[in-house]
Each structure stands twice: as structure tokens, then as C-alpha cells.
Structure 1
Amino acid sequence: MTGLPWDASYQDGPAPWDVGGPQQAIVRLAAQGGFAGSVLDAGCGSGENALYIAALGFSVLGVDVAETALATARSKAVARRIDVEFVAADALRLDCLGRKFDTVLDCGLFHTFDGEERRAYLESLATVTEHGGTLYVLCFSDEGPDTGPHPVSREELTSALDSSNGWKVVTIEPDRLDTRYHDDGAPAWLATVERA
């Protein structure tokens, strides 16, 4: 919650999940018209997904607890001349942002939480997602060889995203999550979820 362990991941070179560009799943979603209105990238890290989406013309806010990652993201935005905002925020207290978003992206954050934290996290996301808005969750899957750390089963993902905390699952599809340790990405789930 302090962000210190996450910040340490960025201090000696790129973090394992920092692949130097947007996730392929995010590029595909964008090509399919998956983003609309204002966009929140929760757990944005060094900003590659947020920068990619903002470069397409969307208003994007990236949030993370790792100050080193945010500083890197801001430097990239300046160097690339992309208008995007990066701020420090606790994913379990997103209501503190005082804003709502039409599209919310979680790329590699959901699977880092345990069961109780997942519920609190999804409730936090609900406070900043417009009714009828879309949440995308790209997380490590427990299916297939060479899974990433903290893999999630389809059942765990489905049960966390239930209607009692304001969500309606549209689809959960197998995908890949790019890392610096997997040649073609680790097994992942891509969930498309609607804010009820």
C-alpha cells in the first residue's frame, strides 16, 4: 500500500512487466474501437499503455503508487510530446481522484491482490467508472504452461467481478500478457466488464 516494494521494482532498470511498449492486447483493443471517452490506466507503471492510448487522441490519466515509474512515464510523455497525465494514487482508494472515467484499464494489477484486496480494489474501480462504462482487466491466467506469478483462474476472476460490486462481465477470453521473461507473453485472461 505504501508503494515502496513496487517502486523498488523500477529502480534497477526496467521491471519484469515493463516491455518498452504497449501490451499487444491493448493495441488490439484500440484497433477494435475498444476505448471511448476519458480513460483511466490503473497501475500504469512506466506509462506505455497510457501513452499509446493518449497518442490516439483520448484523454488519459495513469495512476500508480510507484513514484519512480511515474517519473519515467512523465519523461516519456514529454519526450514523445504526448498529452497525458500521470499521478500517484492508491488503487484501493481511487475515489480520492474525484473523477469518473468512461473506460478503465487494468493491465497486470488485478492479479497482484489477494481475495479480500480484490474486492476492495473492484469497489474502488467502481467509484471512478461511469455507469455503462467499460473496464478491461488483463491478468495472468492459471491455464497453460509457463504461467506468470500470481495466476488467476477464470472462476476467481468471474466471482470477483460479480454484480454485487457493480460489475457485469461481458467476456473473458484467453490472451497473452507480455513480460521481459516470456518470448510470446505469459498466459492471461482479458476480461471485458461493464459498470452496471
Structure 2
Amino acid sequence: MDRHIRAVEDVLRLLDGMFSTDAAWWDRFYADRSRPVPFFAAKPDENLVSYLDRGLISPGRALDVGCGPGRNAVHLAAKGFDVDAVDLSSTAIAWARDRAREAGVAVDFRCGDAFAANGPYDLIYDSGCFHHLPPHRRISYLALLDRALAPGGHFALTCFTTDEGSSRPDDDFYRTPVLDGGIGYTPESLRWIFADLDEVELRLMREQPADSPHFGAPFLWTALFRRRPEA
């Protein structure tokens, strides 16, 4: 039987089909663990470490969206968080589970759709997932935050600047449905998209030397937002 559109999710799935990046693509991306890719190393993001060191976030229940090989999820677990971590790639999840075992921490790694996660979470962390989503999936992303982020909880994001990611307008992605490796954002666009949250900090990621225990690349924005407590 032909599938007909009768709900917003039907429209979103139809638009998903215009873009070629899927779980199989990410499985190939993560297949070779020996590749000298800086963010493949078992190093947490420098901004995440900074948030913890300055007391901007504190241990609670956390969700790592698009966790990849688990470097940030493992760090959060080591700092006392109860961590759920989700990625579309089964290859990335297998690697992440190995890392957690080696570090001696417990993380609930799941292969699947992060948009299906339920909360409440005190922290939702995203390092490199958001900028790989086509524009229409921001609807699902904001719905996830609205449903799963606890009142007073924090949302932390690391994503491409326009120097690294594509700066094409949204409508152009549907004329030429290729994400150009990822979408670049400006501070103004991030503030507009996440306007329902209070900004705590928004800055460029600080570049880290090769021997640093932390990951940092200057072509990424780091943003920390807080959901307003319920009245």
C-alpha cells in the first residue's frame, strides 16, 4: 500500500529520503579505529571539562546525543553522571562500549534514534551531531529538548562555525540535497534556534595542543544553555 502523509513525522521522513547520510555511512566512517582523526582520540571536549571545573554543570542524569565512540559520555560517567548515550552507528557504539569497559565506568550506550529518548535529563550534550542534521530535523531536535530536558537542566552544544560548515540558506539544501559535510552556524542563528533556553555561555572552542588530555578545535562553537525552571 502506498504511504500517504497524514502527520508531521511523515513529512520529516519524506524529506530525510532526500539526503544520503545514514547509519551505514557512519558505520564506514567509524570502521577504522586507527585513523589519525583528532576527535577519535579518547579525549573529552575542552568546553565540557571547563563547565565541570567551573561548576556550571554538576552530576545528574545525562544524555549524549550522537555520542560516536563515547569519549564525552565516558568522561561524564567518570565524573559521576548517570549517562545514556545514543548514536545511529552500531560500529561507533561497539567502540564506545569498549572504551567504557577500559575506563571502568558504566554508560548505557544505545544504537538508535536519539529523537526517541525520554527524560528527564539534567544535561543533554551534543558534540558534532546537530550540524549533521538537515534543516527540517531541527523540529525533531527542539521537540527532544522540550520533552527530555528537565526544568533547570542544561543543554550543551558543539557545532561547526560557518568557516568549517556550509553557510547555504536552508531552502537551498532542498534544491541540492547534500549537506556539504555539515551545516555551519553563527552565534545569532544558534541564539535564534534555541531562543526558548537561557544562554549561559557561547564561545569558540579553544584549540588544544596534541599532548593535551582534552579535545579542542577553533572551527567549532561551544554553547551552554539552561532551561528555565518551572514556575
Contact 2:46 2:205 in 1 (8 A): no
1:59 aligned onto 2:70: no
Distance in 2 between the 1:55 and 1:185 partners? 23
Distance in 2 between the 1:67 and 1:15 partners? 21
SS for the counterpart of 2:224 is strand
Distance in 2 between the 1:33 and 1:50 partners? 18
User: 1:76, CA displacement in angstroms?
Assistant: 1.2
Aligned position for 1:137: 157
Contact 2:119 2:150 in 1 (8 A): no
Distance in 1 between the 2:123 and 2:203 partners? 18
Tell me which moved more, 169-178 or 134-143.
169-178
User: 1:115, CA displacement in angstroms?
Assistant: 2.4
Aligned position for 2:5: none
Contact 2:204 2:218 in 1 (8 A): no
Moved over 4 A (4+): none
Aligned position for 1:22: 44
1:155 aligned onto 2:188: yes
SS for the counterpart of 2:98 is helix
Q: Which structure: larger Rg?
A: 2
Distance in 1 between the 2:98 and 2:70 partners? 10
User: 1:126, CA displacement in angstroms?
Assistant: 2.3
Distance in 2 between the 1:108 and 1:15 partners? 18
C-alpha RMSD of matched pairs (Å): 2.4
Distance in 2 between the 1:27 and 1:59 partners? 17
Letter in 2 for 1:169: E
Mapping for residues 47-126 of structure 1, pairs under 5 Å: 47-94=70-117, 98-126=118-146
Against the structure 1 CA distance between its residues 101 and 161, is the aligned structure 2 distance closer, same or farther, given a 3 Å change threshold? same
SS for the counterpart of 2:40 is coil
1:3 aligned onto 2:23: yes
Against the structure 1 CA distance between its residues 160 and 177, is the aligned structure 2 distance closer, same or farther, given a 3 Å change threshold? farther
Structure with greater proportional strand content: 1
Deviation string for 1:19-48 (max 9, x for gaps)? Answer: 331112222222112333111111111001
| Pairs aligned (count) | 184
Deviation string for 1:142-178 (max 9, x for gaps)? Answer: 25xxx35532111221111122xxx333332222477
Tell me which moved more, 40-49 or 75-84.
75-84
Structure-2-length-normalised TM-score: 0.71
Contact 2:51 2:57 in 1 (8 A): yes
State, as a whole percentage, how many aligned pairs show the same letter.
29
Distance in 1 between the 2:207 and 2:126 partners? 12
Gaps spanning 5+ residues in structure 1: where? none
Distance in 2 between the 1:152 and 1:107 partners? 14
Structure-1-length-normalised TM-score: 0.82
Contact 2:76 2:83 in 1 (8 A): yes
